[in-house]
Amino acid sequence: MRIAMIGAGYVGLVSGACFSDFGHHVVCVDSDKAKVAALKGGELPIYEPGLAELVASNVRQGRLVFGHDLKSAVADAEVVFIAVGTPSRRGDGHADMSYVYAAAHEIACALTQFTVIVTKSTVPVGTSDEVERIIREANPAAEFAVVSNPEFLREGAAIRDFKHPDRIVIGCSDARARNIVTEVYRPLHLNAPPILHTDRRTAELTKYAANCFLATKIAFINEIADLAERVGANVQEVARGIGLDNRIGQKFLHAGPGFGGSCFPKDTLALIKTAQDNEAPLRIVETVMAVNDQRKRAMARKVAHAFGGNGNLRGKAIAVLGVTFKPNTDDMRDAPSIPLITALQDMGAAIRVFDPVGMSQAKKVLQDVTFCESAYDCAKGAHALVIVTEWEQFRALDLKELALIMASPVIVDLRNIYSPEEAARHGFHYCGVGRPRPLAY
């Protein structure tokens, strides 16, 4: 099947590469000519495990190409996916739909045959209706149908999520279009993923509802972690105890510094604004955002408390391990490390940073920090080591060596990677999240 993917960002690039790996012929179109040139040269704009190899393989076999000529790509396509960005709009938090609507207008002017237009971007309820209106107004003679097909990809595991999805949601009222989109996903038939056929507005709301529910689980367990610290309980065991209830499940119950990334903060805020506009406020979701914002700021106070809690870190060098919002990505969008580092700097600390993949992106958003070559280089001479992102490279550090090279033996483990007892045995003052400290302290 011939597919045009409008947008070569995270969703468009992963989706386009995977569709081409299914055997479809995919043209990824992006208005950024520099990005297109880089892609043609084998340079990807994002880090995602396995993606570079997948792209290179399908480019080599002629099933995946990149360009900036939207008109020719759409004219030749049976299915056109809109996978452009929908960032939070400055000032009010609504999703910025300008890129989606601009793409819709360009698509309208390029249609030459019956074409299925699929909104893959995360969009507010009613967007597909507006896309249809824009296309009909711009090209009344066009034969097309608009479908909502939201993505459910996790950064760091996107290829597996695409090829082994929990579900595929197809929002459509046109039988012909529904059959065509189902055929696009036919190569997944052997994996037998559940396919939910529904209307477009329900499909759009399903995406936001899923992200907001997962964000709620994170905010909930983080508040339980605070309580656990106060009463001497272990939040990891609490999470296991409630997660074994199959009505709850164990995923997204890991206490930490709060959620970030390109989806949860943006989508949660967008759904709040949509609900407010429709006079149906989502008080639980509003609280989730407030709790998460407060959580990120509170992590700096946790570091200060490791030194006595007076809020003055002047003369202290703090080593921060991991700055991306999660492992296996270079994404710094709304990463908890950003407000944490800013708050520590406001307290007077000098910040040293290391991340296995995210250093180039971090340099764009972090100021007045020292970027280091390795975890041990980062820790050398530091008065405290703060683990922010749970990269595998940080899960088996040599605590004995760290104790020798650090200026003072303090570990603030915001991901609960290490055992408090193990850290204590090596002479560290250890602070985790929602866990009692070793008896020695």
Query: What six digits make up the tokens of 358?
Result: 């995210």
- pLDDT band of residue 297 (cuts 50, 70, 90) is confident
Paired tokens of 312: 């003055």
Q: Kindly state the percentage of the chain with pLDDT values over 70.
A: 98
Cβ-contact 169, 185 below 8 angstroms: no
For the cut 80, the answer to whether the pLDDT of residue 441 exceeds it is no
Query: What class is the 2-198 domain?
Result: alpha beta
Q: In what order do the strands lie in the sheet with 350-354?
A: 369-371, 350-354, 317-321, 384-387, 410-413, 429-431
Q: What is the pLDDT of residues 85-119, one digit of tens each?
A: 999 988 788 999 999 999 999 999 999 999 999 99
d(CA 63, CA 5): 13
Of 85-94, 168-177, 228-237, 240-249, least confident by mean pLDDT is: 85-94
Superfamily, domain 200-441: NAD(P)-binding Rossmann-like Domain (3.40.50.720)
Q: Which residues neighbour 279 within 8 Å (Cβ) at sequence distance 6 or greater?
A: none
pLDDT of residue 438: 60
Considering the entire predicted model, what is its pTM? 0.92
Q: What is the per-residue burial (b if ≥16 Cβ within 10 Å, else e) of 21-42?
A: bbebbbbbbbbeeebbeebeee
Distance of CA 84 to the CA centre of its chain: 15
Domain boundaries, the chain: 2-198, 200-441
- Torsion angle (degrees, nearest 10) of CA 409, 413, 418, 424: 30
How far apart CA 196 and CA 148 sit, in angstroms, is 11
The predicted-structure confidence for 1-50, as pLDDT tens digits, reads as follows 999 999 999 999 999 999 999 999 999 999 999 999 999 999 999 999 99
Region 328-341 average pLDDT = 96
Catalytic amino acids?
A: 263
Name the token pair of 119. 């909104």
CATH fold match for the domains 2-198 and 200-441 = yes
